[in-house]
Amino acid sequence: MGFARTCSVALVGVEGVVVEVQADLEPGVAAFTLVGLPDKSLTESRDRVRAAVVNSGAEWPQRKLTVGLSPASVPKAGSGFDLAVACAVLGAAERIDPRVLADIVMIGELGLDGRVRPVRGILPAVLAAAGAGYEQVVVPECAAAEASLVPGVSVLGVRSLRQLIAVLADEPVPDEEPDEPGRPDPLLAGLRVPGTGAATAMHSNGAAQQDSGHDLADVVGQHSARTAVEVAAAGGHHLFLEGPPGAGKTMLAERLPAILPRLAREESLEVTAVHSVAGLLPPGKPLIDTPPYCAPHHSATMQSLVGGGPGVARPGAVSLSHRGVLFLDETPEFSSHALDALRQPLESGHVVIARSAGVVRFPAQFLMVLAYAGPDMFNGR
Ligand SMILES: Nc1ncnc2c1ncn2[C@@H]1O[C@H](COP(=O)(O)OP(=O)(O)OP(=O)(O)O)[C@@H](O)[C@H]1O
Ligand SMILES: [Mg+2]
């Protein structure tokens, strides 16, 4: 009766799998079924999509509607499929030509009013789409710069579903009111959900460090400690700093990223992808090209250190310091479980988190700096 398909991306850690979103309309009692291993937030997309379509001025098909996400075996989480589901439905209802939709990858959450909102992990999702040979992606307008970091992909940033329908149907594109300037986007703030790990335990991340202007030249004296920091940077060695309070341990550790080499293009994309999945990319400056610095407090939970959490798994401190510095101040205060959990990433350069929905792998190749101000840890003084 009516069929259309388009694409989106399911994220597993920082790796993406292109998912085909198919919509099928059959005569029958109006119903909307979503199949293909969706999680709770994705199942809720049925209601968001229906409201967004209606509020965008399009007609909701009053027939038996089935939306399938394939491959069905890959677990799918989050709200980033909304845009693709809405367009597949509109394609099946012939509001949009289904042929136009087939080769486009769409990523974005829909508000009930039809506005397109950003989701975590746009960069790795677009990297996966490009890797699978797709050349056109549609993303929320505020994430277009992030998506454009991927070479060989043409990116369309849209503000609302209404705009996207107009572009795809070759109609004049309506203007959308911009978000009020100066006011923090509640949605971007919402990406950093307190209590879910990554964003809470850090008092610094790659982006913050980039602007901090820390310079090793600020350190007065301390020649041997400075040499140690330089040797660690040059050789990629881990570092243990011991000394009385106020001796400058934290100061030295904070300045280590500044003397590490800048990240190469590939490394920048890797680091940026991790921060993108964590929802920590600074808006307006999507590429992280200097080594990140991450200093979790010693009360950090295992999850905030190694990663995890519900829905799309978040990277932990070990991954947020990938290709940069992980600073564990007052190291003995960390729980022994947390310190033990660092062994795997230290040995293998990545962290593997097993969850009921599958295994998630994040890169975690960092330079570790430990600091301790108490009595000599090794000589028992
Ligand atoms: N060698 C130094 N050169 C310049 N400033 C220094 C030096 N050592 C310490 N300071 C100053 O003292 C402050 C405290 O140093 P810092 O926090 O790095 O010490 P710490 O060894 O980490 O102490 P704690 O064990 O209490 O954490 C720094 O912010 C800095 O202003
Ligand atoms: Mg300190």
CATH architecture of 198-372: 3-Layer(aba) Sandwich (3.40)
Ligand 1 atom at minimum distance from 219 CA? 3
pLDDT tens readout for residues 256-277: 999 999 999 999 999 999 999 9
The per-residue pLDDT for 161 is 94
Ligand 1 within 6 A of CB of 339 = no
Interval between CA 6 and ligand 1 midpoint (Å): 56
Judged against a pLDDT cut of 70, whether residue 17 lies above it is answered with: yes
How many beta carbons lie within 10 A of that of residue 52, not counting itself?
26
Ligand 1 within 6 A of CB of 245 = yes
Interval between CA 248 and ligand 1 midpoint (Å): 3
Judged against a pLDDT cut of 70, whether residue 301 lies above it is answered with: yes
- The band of 205, judged by pLDDT with boundaries at 50, 70 and 90, is very low
Ligand 1 within 6 A of CB of 247 = yes
Interval between CA 334 and ligand 2 midpoint (Å): 14
Judged against a pLDDT cut of 50, whether residue 57 lies above it is answered with: yes
Ligand 1 within 6 A of CB of 373 = yes
Q: Which of 250, 254, 293 to mutate to test the pocket of ligand 1 (most atoms within 8 A of CB)?
A: 250
Judged against a pLDDT cut of 90, whether residue 240 lies above it is answered with: yes
- The band of 189, judged by pLDDT with boundaries at 50, 70 and 90, is very low
- Nearest Cα residue to atom 16 of ligand 1: 248
Ligand 1 within 6 A of CB of 331 = no
pLDDT tens readout for residues 339-375: 999 999 999 999 998 877 778 899 999 999 999 987 7
Ligand 1 atom at minimum distance from 241 CA? 21
Residue-averaged pLDDT of the chain: 86
The C-alpha atoms of residue 42 and residue 138 are separated, in whole angstroms, by 19
The per-residue pLDDT for 110 is 94
Domain ranges of the chain: 2-191, 198-372
Judged against a pLDDT cut of 60, whether residue 209 lies above it is answered with: no
The per-residue pLDDT for 178 is 66
Ligand 1 atom at minimum distance from 253 CA? 18
- Nearest CA to 7 out of 76, 64, 55, 93 is that of 76
Within 8 A by CB and 6+ apart from 183, the residues are none
Q: Which of 224, 251, 293, 333 to mutate to test the pocket of ligand 1 (most atoms within 8 A of CB)?
A: 251
- Nearest Cα residue to atom 12 of ligand 1: 246
The per-residue pLDDT for 154 is 93
- Nearest Cα residue to atom 9 of ligand 1: 248
pLDDT tens readout for residues 132-158: 999 999 999 889 999 999 999 999 999
- The band of 190, judged by pLDDT with boundaries at 50, 70 and 90, is very low
Ligand 1 within 6 A of CB of 324 = no
More confident residue, 195 or 100: 100
More confident residue, 7 or 308: 7
**Segment 199-227 mean pLDDT:** 64
The per-residue pLDDT for 174 is 86
The per-residue pLDDT for 213 is 74
- Nearest CA to 306 out of 253, 239, 366, 364 is that of 364
**Residue for token pair 């800048």:** 262
Q: In what order do the strands lie in the sheet with 104-106?
A: 31-35, 64-70, 15-26, 2-12, 104-106, 136-140, 154-158
Ligand 1 within 6 A of CB of 216 = no
- The band of 181, judged by pLDDT with boundaries at 50, 70 and 90, is low
Within 8 A by CB and 6+ apart from 171, the residues are 165
- Nearest Cα residue to atom 17 of ligand 1: 250
Indicate if 198-372 has the same CATH topology as 2-191: no
Judged against a pLDDT cut of 90, whether residue 76 lies above it is answered with: no
- The band of 378, judged by pLDDT with boundaries at 50, 70 and 90, is low
The per-residue pLDDT for 13 is 87
> What is the CATH number assigned to the segment(s) 2-191?
3.30.230.10
**Segment 77-95 mean pLDDT:** 93
**Segment 26-45 mean pLDDT:** 86
The per-residue pLDDT for 280 is 86
The per-residue pLDDT for 188 is 46
- Nearest Cα residue to atom 11 of ligand 1: 248
The per-residue pLDDT for 116 is 93
Ligand 1 within 6 A of CB of 244 = no
Q: For residues 321 and 254, is the Cβ–Cβ distance under 8 A?
A: no
Judged against a pLDDT cut of 60, whether residue 192 lies above it is answered with: no
**Segment 223-250 mean pLDDT:** 92
The C-alpha atoms of residue 180 and residue 60 are separated, in whole angstroms, by 30
- The band of 79, judged by pLDDT with boundaries at 50, 70 and 90, is confident
Phi/psi at 83 (nearest 5 deg)? -60, -45
